[in-house]
Chain A
């Protein structure tokens, strides 16, 4: 096993910490979303859904708590999609040629970048959870400390695999593109459908069938499933819809994310092995 990807990781993290504004904005952004969008939306949604009776045996969950899971997912998505950006900067103004001409296996470039992206996602997830707690997000209802620990681990595992997939995707695209603007365009195009055709902000039960099918193939939906399962339990009621997850469902979602990451790995590896310098 070669460990050179840790070198790439080391450099990425130096840069992460060194750019104060980037660091703080990436930490602040999810918190701001929670504070404004979350609180505003939850006031509305809670009013609409207050009249819907809660089925027996399920735990009612308020909107802020419901969407906090979506917020975690969305933040991971954004951070990961932008993760490849540093490669584009490296290609144009940085150390890409140094890395490509070195004996380090080229796949380590994307592994190092991915690992740093995952780290950033983790930091953000923890911030959202901590900040959510202050705002009144009721994650882990009535859980024992041990179960909370396990749940957090579960959430991080889901976030990790999900982020890996999108980081590899982003790295792959970046290696094939010439300029950061191109990646920005692709990200803008992608985030809209990914974010809105998912269960991050609202239940998909009310979608038209076509969108429902589409959202079932959306990795974001599966990430949100995992987060809600670990954060809220297997049976809960939110935004007028009943949620019940069996461990098999969750395993399926996790497998889907694993397959997604694996496919992204294979595609990205091709891009890196064929990389040339222009």
Chain B
């Protein structure tokens, strides 16, 4: 009895403490960050950018939530890099408003620069500096005090497994090592947002997988990530949310699942000992949009989530006494999503 009481008191205390902490945190956020809208770390409204006649970005609006991995997926020339360059203060704002990490980009570009890290699309390395010097230079640009800087360099080089290359000039690194070095450099300042412009372009599949791991690790440690890519699988695997961008416009935004579900085109491939009877047996399911017969079995197009339909189909077919040879569910891929929303294949892939 008495034990029970103590526990209850503890619980009560804990509640009070959490409540108290929440109030403190909220107050801190309010005063420390003027006008930061609750959870959005990037807010872009009606951004436009032209190079002379060429409209690279036409009225783009989106927001990135604190802590997420957000991707711009689009073909060559869609306006991804242009958007990143504006967001990172490398291009002037022509039209629209942008807030990054709570600061207005037009009014406080310096504050924004302090809060972000960037890995550029193409190599930005001094070929004649060593790996360590590259990091040291960067740390000094951001005025990280000496001891702390040296410590972080060691840490970051360990994370990207480049300790052994410390005193090697960057021109003697492989493409993947250079990319890892650039990522380590982007991270050493502990930015709130890390911009990654096509981080895995031109890397071999193995290195890509490793890179994805790094990106996830970094994100798990609390850094918001804004990523551009023209690889469907990359956007799919990494992102919490994706904006598909084409011809300077955002075509659609959503989680990878939302985007794929919106297509509603899950297909089930079913092979049985008697396809004709099987087709009859499953006629009653409302979600089935169409069934086509082929020598290798039935393809059943489902209008909603196929994974919920599959067990029912299997049950019905089995119930009718028909043996199933194989059953396959194919969800739409990002490729399908892209084709659906832009009306064509991703232009000149791999460019």
Most buried by B among A93, A96, A105: A93
CB neighbours (8 Å) of A2 from chain B are 143
Taking CB atoms and an 8 Å cut-off, the chain A residues in 92-117 that contact chain B are 93-105
Q: In the complex, what residues of B have CB within 8 A of residue A93's CB?
A: 127
Chain B's nearest CB lies how many Å from the CB of A156? 27
A10 proximal to B (CB < 8 A): yes
Considering only residues 1-54 of chain A, those with a C-beta below 8 Å from chain B are 2, 4, 7, 10-11, 14-15, 18-19
Given contacts A15-B128, A94-B126, A95-B126, contact A103 B110 (CB under 8 A): yes
Contact assessment for A97 and B124 in the assembled complex, using a CB-CB cutoff below 8 Å: yes
Give every chain B residue within 8 A of A146 (Cβ-Cβ). none
Check A14 against B129 for contact (C-beta < 8 Å).
yes
Bound complex: CA A277 to CA B84 (Å) = 12
Q: Provided the pairs A103-B110, A103-B113 are in contact, do residues A19 and B128 lie with their beta carbons within 8 angstroms?
A: yes
Does any Cβ of A come within 8 Å of B88's Cβ?
yes
Are B92 and A276 in contact, with the CB atoms below 8 A? yes
* Interface flag for B125 (CB, 8 Å): yes
Docked CA distance A98–B118 (Å): 8
Within 8 A of A (CB), among B110-125: 110, 113-114, 116, 118, 120, 124-125
A14-B133 CB under 8 A given contacts A98-B141, A101-B113, A102-B142: yes
Contact of A97 with B141 in the complex, beta carbons under 8 Å:
no
Residues of A within 8 A of B125 (CB): 94-95
> With A7-B141, A104-B141 in contact, is A276–B91 under 8 Å at CB?
yes
- Please determine whether B90 and A101 come into contact, CB atoms closer than 8 angstroms: yes
| Bound CA–CA A113/B114 (angstroms) | 23
- CB < 8 Å: which of A10, A19, A100 contacts B90? A100
Are A18's CB and B128's CB within 8 A? yes
Nearest A residue to B137 via CB reads A11
Q: Is B85 an interface residue (CB 8 A)?
A: yes
Chain A residues with CB under 8 A of B185:
98
When chains A and B are docked, how far (Å) is the Cα of A101 from the Cα of B189?
Answer: 13
Out of B110, B116, B124, name the residue touching A95 (CB < 8 Å).
B124
User: Are the C-beta atoms of A97 and B126 separated by less than 8 Å?
Assistant: no
C-alpha gap A103/B140 in the complex (Å): 11
Determine how close the nearest CB of chain A comes to the CB of B185; give it in whole angstroms.
Answer: 8
A11/B90 in contact, CB under 8 A: no
B128 touches A102 (CB 8 A): no
Contacts of B137 in A (CB 8 A): 7, 10-11, 95
Q: Does B89 contact A (CB under 8 A)?
A: yes
B138 within 8 A of A: yes
Report chain B residues within 8 Å CB of A276: 90-92
- The smallest beta-carbon distance between A274 and chain B, in angstroms, is 8
B142 touches A277 (CB 8 A): no
How far apart are the CA atoms of A2 and B110 in the complex, in Å?
Answer: 14
Q: Check A103/B129 contact, CB under 8 A, given A11-B137, A97-B124.
A: no
Q: Which residues of A contact B110 (CB under 8 A)?
A: 103, 105
Contact indicator B91/A11 (Cβ below 8 Å): no
User: A101 vs B105: C-alpha distance in the bound complex, in angstroms?
Assistant: 12
In the bound assembly, the distance between CA atoms of A13 and B338 in angstroms comes to: 50
Within 8 A of A (CB), among B86-105: 88-92
Judge whether A277 and B138 touch: CB under 8 Å.
no
Q: Provide the bound-state CA to CA distance between A101 and B114, in Å.
A: 9
- In the assembled complex, the CB of A104 is this many whole angstroms from the nearest CB of chain B, namely 5
Docked Cα-Cα span, A225 to B137, in Å, equals 40
Q: Which residue of A is nearest B123, CB measured?
A: A93
Compute how far the CA of A277 lies from the CA of B86 in the bound complex, rounded to whole angstroms.
Answer: 10
Say yes or no: B92 contacts A11, CB within 8 Å: no
Known: A94-B126, A95-B124, A103-B113. A277 touches B85 (CB 8 A): yes
In the complex, 5 of the A-B residue pairs with CB atoms within 8 angstroms, ordered by the A residue number, are: A4-B143, A97-B90, A101-B88, A102-B142, A103-B113
List of 10 A-B pairs having minimum Cβ-Cβ separation, nearest first: A7-B140, A102-B141, A277-B90, A103-B114, A103-B113, A104-B141, A101-B88, A97-B124, A98-B124, A276-B91
Q: A7-B140, A90-B126, A277-B85 are in contact. List 11 more A-B contacts (CB 8 A).
A: A4-B143, A7-B137, A11-B129, A15-B126, A15-B129, A93-B127, A100-B90, A103-B143, A104-B143, A276-B90, A276-B92
